[in-house]
Amino acid sequence: MGAQAVEAGLDPADALAAMTDAIRVIGEGFRVGDLFLPDLVGGADALTAATPIIEEEIQRIGAKTETMGVVVIGTVYGDIHTIGKTMVATLLQAEGFTVHDIGINVTADEFVAGVRKHKPDILAMSALMTMTAPEQRKVVESLQAEGLRDSVKIMVGGGAITQEFADSIGADGYNPTAPGAAKLARTLMGR
Ligand code: B12
């Protein structure tokens, strides 16, 4: 899918947006019973495989030399959804950020360790489920407890997150889309 999009000369940002729409349609089909688990898992696998190819294309055509800043990104503990987080990481890289993707199912302690290790300008967290959204609050509190909260800007997103929730946990920013996340990161850097 990714290679075909590149060969067809599609704008990679449009390709990512189309992939987002596609998995949401598949998810809705699964929810109402028109599609089945293999459809959902197959769709998710196709997107996970396509993303690095599109990422490469974004870097090929956009290659920015200036470093905008450092970002640590991950999906919170208890949550294995990876697609949106990876898209955000991809577009942040395209925007010129150095991105350390610390993966999925990341505990608060692991986020704190990631901040200590990479000393990012921005910590970005994704959560797709109402049950895992509170983990973002836990990470903010852990950073506070470790005296690291003021060393980093925090941005949050993922299907389960709203602006209201982001405000309630004291995050510095929220955006519902991956291109919006990249713009938000620039703004947080004062650019
Ligand atoms: C694909 C999918 C899966 C795949 C995941 C594959 C993978 N490798 O990621 C599989 C099948 C494994 C899966 C499993 C489960 N899933 Co699921 N899944 C989905 C589905 C259909 C799509 C998610 C997705 O990839 N969306 C596309 C991406 C691009 O969107 P996104 O992640 O929201 O990201 C965008 C923005 O939010 C934003 N963004 C994302 N991160 C960040 C971060 C920052 C900082 C910023 C600024 C922005 C930002 O940018 C992205 C691009 O625009 C959704 C339905 C939906 N409508 O979202 C359900 C959904 C998220 N899943 C759900 C559930 C319940 C589960 C399971 C518990 C199911 C089960 N009973 O086993 C398990 C969870 C296991 C776990 N512990 O995590 C529920 C969550 C309900 C809730 N609100 O709590 C949903 C909403 C389905 C539903 N309607 O019930 N799932």
Expressed in angstroms and rounded, the spacing between residue 141 Cα and the centre of ligand 1 is 24
Query: What's the whole-number mean pLDDT along residues 151-177?
Result: 98
**Res 65: pLDDT:** 54
Q: Which of 172, 171, 174 is nearest to 163 (CA)?
A: 174
Ligand 1 atom at shortest distance from the alpha carbon of 45: 8
Cα 8 to Cα 191: distance, rounded to the nearest angstrom: 33
- CA 58 from centroid of its chain's CA atoms: 16
Cα 51 to Cα 57: distance, rounded to the nearest angstrom: 10
pLDDT digits (tens, 9 = 90+) for 5-49: 778 888 887 888 888 888 888 988 988 999 988 998 898 888 888
The full set of domain ranges for the chain reads: 2-62, 69-188
Expressed in angstroms and rounded, the spacing between residue 23 Cα and the centre of ligand 1 is 9
pTM of the model: 0.89
DSSP for residue 9: T
Residues with CB under 6 A from ligand 1: 20, 23-24, 27, 31, 40-41, 44, 48, 78-85, 87-88, 124-126, 128-131, 155-160, 175-178, 181, 184
Query: What's the whole-number mean pLDDT along residues 154-167?
Result: 98
User: Band of the pLDDT at 167, cuts 50, 70, 90?
Assistant: very high
pLDDT digits (tens, 9 = 90+) for 54-76: 878 877 776 555 678 999 999 99
Domain 69-188 has CATH 3.40.50.280: yes
Q: Enter the tokens of residue 41.
A: 């898992």
**Res 50: pLDDT:** 87
Sign of the C-alpha dihedral, residues 136, 75, 124, 10? negative
User: Band of the pLDDT at 2, cuts 50, 70, 90?
Assistant: low
At residue 28, φ and ψ (nearest 5 deg) are -65, -40
